[in-house]
Amino acid sequence: MAILIDSLADPRTLFPSEKEDGSNPKLNQDSVQPSVLLLGFSNLNSLDFRKLAIVSPKRAVKAQSGWEGFFPYYAGYPESFARALLSSAGLPKGSRVLDPWNGSGTTTFAASKLMLDAVGIDINPVMTIVARARTLPPSEADTLVALGRELLAKARRSAVVVDPMDPLASWFGPLTVGWLRGIERAISSSLVSDQTRAAGDIQAVSAMAATFYVALFALCRELAATFQTSNPTWLKVARAGQRRASGNRSVLAVRFIGIVADMAGALAIQNIASSETAAVDLIVADTAGGLGLASTFDFVLTSPPYCTRIDYTAATRLQLAVVAPLLRMGKAELSRKMLGSIRVPVHEVRPVAAWGDTANRFLETVRHHPSKASAGYYYKTHADYFDKMFRSLRSIAKSIKPCGTAVLVVQDSYYKDVHNDLPASISEIAAAHGLVLRRRDDFGLSKTLAGSHPHSKSYRNSFEAVEAVLCFQKT
């Protein structure tokens, strides 16, 4: 369904099915086609938003195989979605693409293969390592196993004194911690420069070093499988007196090389028409704090963290423990700075009118909700989310060229029984920063994390969600 309307029309007319209370009936993923909203075009010489190829941004199981399967981090869209969208935008070679919440590097990977210079920003240093590993050229596949064996040999020769406070001890016994730390130190001392280690400059780590870190991440995830919960974003830590996971050093070495060999095989058979790629720059930074980039961008493609109380730091707590010797920021500080943090902000956050009617109406409903802690903890963390979102979109808008494009994949959610229409809220916040909504495509999701929470059914029976692809133009 395509609708052309006057961009100055009352926003409520864009969604005729929306009720007066702000609720919006959910889409059925199996029976409803994506809806498309095309908001009044300007006369500027810019992208024709009708030509954008927008497919479902849902990450399918089959997309988590091959080379892409080694980066199985929650949320985000598949590489096929990013590639189709960027290809259809008609960007000339050398155009600049930005992903300010780059995650595992799907956008930067797809852009580089299309010969578009890409910059990816993420506050989580683990995700920068993962995104860097993704850029390893297929020509390096033949070297991985041999180099992996050299790293293991170096790890065996090195005596590692286990620190009882090593963060890996949250899951593993002392001997296993020593063996894993030995592999990590072999990677660091062999493939990471002294200057990078001393400065804790994660973004300077090479694609080769990052690839071996990713292999070590995978090994640690396998060992810590007993601590994984039904929530893919939450890994428990061992309680006092609880048995830690352990593994024989020889078995760990064989499995590590097995993972490296699997990665080499997947890398070698990538279906790439040309080995030529454009530049990829990966930066560890807080988008809400201001990007301060020297150049502006033609196109932004990203998916901001969901407003669903996902602790993105906890989702990578094991990987953060692996690379702890390289980090400058502690896990607690990182968690607090995250967009979508589950920690109460240190300073009071007061809503402002520029956040838009939808966000402010939602916050007021949360604050007056009768459930426990609504007026305190939940109100404060949601207000923190919208404050960081407002500042982030301000930074993003400043980074886009006049008439440039920004495409955001945004999922709605609920607080108890209160609909959080995040796509509408983000559209209003974006408008405050000069980003005009030109097109919106909705895709229904029948399964969400909320449906797995045991207490959610006391508030509602349906756990369907809408994932909206929002296309903006900078005025």
- Pick the closest to residue 404 from 295, 253, 331 (CA basis): 295
pLDDT of res. 379: 96
pLDDT of res. 31: 37
Whether 261 and 372 share a structural domain: no
Structure tokens at 373: 């802690």
pLDDT of res. 5: 32
Query: In this predicted model, what pLDDT tens digit does every residue of 411-465 receive, in sequence order?
Result: 999 999 999 999 999 999 999 999 999 999 999 987 655 544 555 555 555 568 9
Residues 6+ apart with CB under 8 A from 161: none
Query: In this predicted model, what pLDDT tens digit does every residue of 332-372 receive, in sequence order?
Result: 889 899 988 889 999 999 999 999 999 999 999 999 999 99
Query: Residue 463 to residues 223, 388, 413, 448, 460: CA-CA distances in angstroms?
Result: 32, 26, 9, 6, 8
Whether 464 and 355 share a structural domain: yes
54 within a domain of the structure (yes/no): no
What percent of the chain has pLDDT above 70? Answer: 84
- Pick the closest to residue 57 from 370, 435, 423 (CA basis): 423
Whether 444 and 358 share a structural domain: yes
Q: HEC states along the chain?
A: CEEEECCCCCHHHHCCCCCCCCCCCCCCCCCCCCEEEEECCCCCCCCCHHHCCCCCCCCCHHHHCHHHHHCCCCCCCCHHHHHHHHHHCCCCCCCEEEECCCCCCHHHHHHHHCCCEEEEEECCHHHHHHHHHCCCCHHHHHHHHHHHHHHHHHHHHCCCCCCCCCHHHHCECHHHHHHHHHHHHHHHHHHCCHHHHHHCCHHHCCHHHHHHHHHHHHHHHHHCHHHECCCCCCECCCCCCCCCECCCHHHHHHHHHHHHHHHHHHHHCCCCCCCCCCCEEEEECCHHHCCCCCCCEEEEEECCCCCCCCCHHHHCHHHHHHCHHHCCCCHHHHHHHCCCCCCCCCCCCCCCHHHCHHHHHHHHHHHCCCCCCHHHHHHHHHHHHHHHHHHHHHHHHHCEEEEEEEEEEEECEEECCEEECHHHHHHHHHHHCCEEEEEEEEEEECCCHHHHCCCHHHCCCCCCEEEEEEEEEEC
Last residue of a domain, one of 215, 233, 268: 268
Whether 260 and 367 share a structural domain: no
134 within a domain of the structure (yes/no): no
102 within a domain of the structure (yes/no): no
pLDDT of res. 159: 77
Averaged pLDDT, 12-17 = 39
Rounded CA-CA distance 391/288 in Å is 5
Query: In this predicted model, what pLDDT tens digit does every residue of 286-341 receive, in sequence order?
Result: 999 998 888 999 999 999 998 877 777 888 999 999 999 999 888 888 989 998 88
371 within a domain of the structure (yes/no): yes
Whether 356 and 460 share a structural domain: yes
Q: How many domains does the chain have?
A: 2
Rounded CA-CA distance 286/101 in Å is 9
58 within a domain of the structure (yes/no): no
What does pTM read for this prediction?
A: 0.88
Residue with the bigger pLDDT between 70 and 216: it is 216
413 within a domain of the structure (yes/no): yes
Last residue of a domain, one of 244, 268, 292: 268
Whether 263 and 171 share a structural domain: yes
Least confident of 1-10, 36-45, 117-126: 1-10
438 within a domain of the structure (yes/no): yes
Last residue of a domain, one of 212, 247, 268: 268
Task: Look up the domain containing 387 and give its range.
Answer: 1-42+345-475
pLDDT of res. 200: 86
Whether 255 and 350 share a structural domain: no
352 within a domain of the structure (yes/no): yes
